[in-house]
Structure 1
Amino acid sequence: MLYAGTRRPVRVNHRAPKHPCRNNSGEETHRPVSLSLHNGAHPPFWPVRAFRCGRMRGMKRASFRLSVLLAALGWTLSTLAADSLRMVFIDVEGGQATLIVAPNGESLLVDAGWPGFEGRDAERIARAAQSLGLHQIDYMLVTHYHLDHVGGVPPLLERIPLRRFIDHGDNTETGERAEQLAEPYYELRAKADHMVVKPGDQIRLGPVTLEIVAARGEVLSRPLAGAGQANPRCREVPHQPDDPTENAKSIGFRLSFGKFRFLDLADLTWNLEQRLACPENKLGTVDVYLVTHHGSALSNNPALVHAVQPRVAIMNNGARKGGDAAAWQVVRTSPGLEDLWQLHYALKAGEAANVPESFIANPEAECKGYNIRLEAWPEGRFTVTNERNQFSKTYAPRTR
């Protein structure tokens, strides 16, 4: 459900799958049911039999076979659980594509990477969606009108339905090139539900809430709940020349799921970040920070990064895009940071700046496009996994 100012909410028709052995009151039932993934979809070639709750004959054997089959398909039994938030930071070679699936099965994609490259990014996004049991994406959120964020929307729609479009309005950049980039997207959104968001609006995916903190060059006028503390770093950080590009118009949001917090500011630049953090921190602290602007030094203002105090940072850089040395230093010196994960080894940053290989999804410039996955639970616990080597680390709930 999406709330934007006084507009009526857009409702999603599908619901989360019920617990196979309990009704809505939590009481045991004994009616036949069928297992399914979110959105009621079965994994390919998965012959699922109905069973009666309480009848355990053959269940252990069936559970073992199911585990083996899911493992072969790249799933785990946790894929079937309806109590966790799942996110995939998809490798689109220095662009952005972040897929979010709420416990009730509703999905939202933040940006769609680049066009061209024979549909490379669209294929990677579609595969990630399929791996989570999705046959459509409920919300397509376009943060701003740059090629590495909106360019991949048209080819993606050829591969998977996109039901609703969210953006900050029309492109603020002008000229023939800007129009050529935006027009294909305008044509697609005109045929579907479309919502323009502004700071203070909310997007709700069941128990998951995305609070819009920046859009179209504006930021929150008041702190989020639990935020508002004075920020001593503001005195140390200089103002930069204003950014006239679409980067400064990016949609940024803070995601909340129970006690878990995630911050994504897309490509928001220095002065807008400073307005979010100074003179008071309007965002509070977060568990996971998607490093802004792919790790560009035009962003990642230390007044903001150090104020939100992420425990984990994830950088959606490319081999030759993002990962600036100055941004590395800001993120890695942030108070309380435990780990930094990267989609790519950043060639221009050098060995001293890059993290250990276990935390890098694609250590080679020419790669297969491995992703980083995150799963979070409402008590604040979360796990990050490198698809390439299956290296995984679980972080206990934060004490706030």
Structure 2
Amino acid sequence: MRWTLVFLMAAALSLPAANRKNLEISFIDTEGGQATLLVTPSGESLLVDAGWPGNNGRDADRIISAAKKAGLTKIDYLLVTHYHLDHVGGVPDLAAKFPVGTVIDHGANIETGRGADALNAGYQKVLAAGTKRLTVKPGDVLPLKDLRVEVVTANGERIPKALKGGGQKNAVCATEKRRDDDPSENARSIGVLMTFGKFRFVDLGDLTWNKELDAACPEHLIGPIDLFITTHHGLDQSNSASMVHGLHPRVAIMNNGARKGGSPAAWSIISASPGLQDLWQIHYAVAGGKDHNVAEDRIANPEEKCQGVGLEVSATKGGSFTVTNPRNGFNKSYKP
């Protein structure tokens, strides 16, 4: 009887993703890069970016660990928000170790030079090895079954009209000025709204200030959401109040590194967002000091020399969700 019980417990722990009811999101620590893994109840997977290259395959290994923990044997879709080292650089490392079905991008890389050429060569090698490619534009909807993923921005353009739930007049726009245009790949980031029942989650990659204003002013084209991953790692080149406050997130996750992102100015805008219940951080931001970091229980990595812990979110179709810090087991649930 005892061994039968052990067997049944082990089987329960290895239940396939198809038996789950929630959307599971893993915010993987790439130490200042980005890699966010979403797994639907049917076991379909979407990875947003793949972190940095090198570091003995550190980021690829962390992504694979999260994927295996979720019961995956492959990544169905890998969305590359833009062609910068901390987002697309880890794609070749990941694809060499773990199957990737389709990569999604905004089209050609507009940047040139040795670094950009090397990134492009590595990316093209992955495609040449047989990985499918899907190029998207604003207004496109990704071909996932349980999760609606709408492209809001891509290749420097934005959706021409508000999404369902958006369209609100944005009073904050009157107080914020445009800045010098950003000619880099950041401004061409793919931004997406992900909807799971009543749960809404936004990821805008590294979209910069003026492009945020284009999508947030004079009407906010996205509208209120539940969960927001801070744009551009929480740097103040992004995260305008027009965008963030118009999103009206209930919870924000800052995917910063110890010495990248988490800018005090951006941290202050995000923290002051109307209706925000909590901000969580992947790392303690050294530049922020005690006044611009959240309480330690909501920080995955409080020390600069860290174990690479991420944050996890489990969301229901009803709109409730729970954020968990695996480092200390602390979690908090948010009602619809």
Partner of 2:22: 84
Q: What amino acid is aligned across from residue 149 of structure 2 in structure 1?
A: L
Q: Using the TM superposition, give the Cα deviation of residue 81 of structure 1 relative to its aligned residue in structure 2, in angstroms.
A: 3.7
Does the 8 Å CA contact 1:102/1:205 hold for their aligned counterparts? no
TM superposition shift of 1:93 = 0.3
Partner of 1:360: 299
Paired position in structure 2 for 1:109:
47
| Letter of the 2:324 counterpart | T
The aligned residue for residue 223 of structure 1 is 162
Alignment partners' CA distance in 2, 1:374 and 1:320: 24
Q: Distance in 2 between matches of 1:181 and 1:392?
A: 38
RMSD (Å) for aligned C-alpha atoms? 1.8
More helix by share: 2
SS in 1 for 2:319: coil
Name the structure 2 match of 1:177: 115
Q: Aligned to 2:177, which of 233, 238, 244?
A: 238
Aligned with residue 38 of structure 2, among 82, 100, 106: 100
Instruction: Identify the match of residue 337 of structure 1 among 276, 281, 284.
Output: 276
1:249-328 maps to which residues of 2 (within 5 A)?
249-328=188-267
Does residue 375 of the first structure (1) align with residue 314 of the second (2)?
yes
User: 1:389 is matched with which residue?
Assistant: 328
1:340 match: secondary structure:
strand
- The more displaced of 266-275 and 170-179 is 170-179
> How high is the TM-score relative to the length of structure 2?
0.96
Range with greater deviation from structure 2 (255-264 or 154-163): 154-163
Task: Point out where structure 2 has 5 or more consecutive residues left out of the alignment.
Answer: none
After superposition, the C-alpha distances for 1:338-385 in whole angstroms (9 at most, x for unaligned) are 000100000011011110111000101011111100110100011110
Indicate yes or no: 2:118 matched with 1:155.
no
Deviation at 1:62, TM superposition (A): 5.7
Identity of aligned residues (%): 52
Report Cα offsets for 1:171-202 as digits up to 9, x if no partner. Answer: 11112221111111012123221110000001
The answer to whether the Cα contact below 8 Å between 1:103 and 1:206 also exists between their aligned partners in 2 is no
| Moved >2 Å (runs of 4+) | 60-67, 75-82
- 2:200 aligns to what SS in structure 1? strand
- Whose Rg is larger? 1
The residue number in structure 1 matching 2:84 is 146
**CA distance, structure 1, for counterparts of residue 4 and residue 298 of structure 2:** 35
The one-letter code matched in structure 2 to 1:200 is: G
Q: Select 1:193's aligned residue among 132, 135, 140.
A: 132
User: Which deviates the most, 200-209 or 86-95?
Assistant: 200-209
State the distance in 2 between where 1:159 and 1:136 align: 10
The structure 2 residue matched to 1:137, chosen from 54, 69, 75, is 75
Deviation at 1:64, TM superposition (A): 7.1
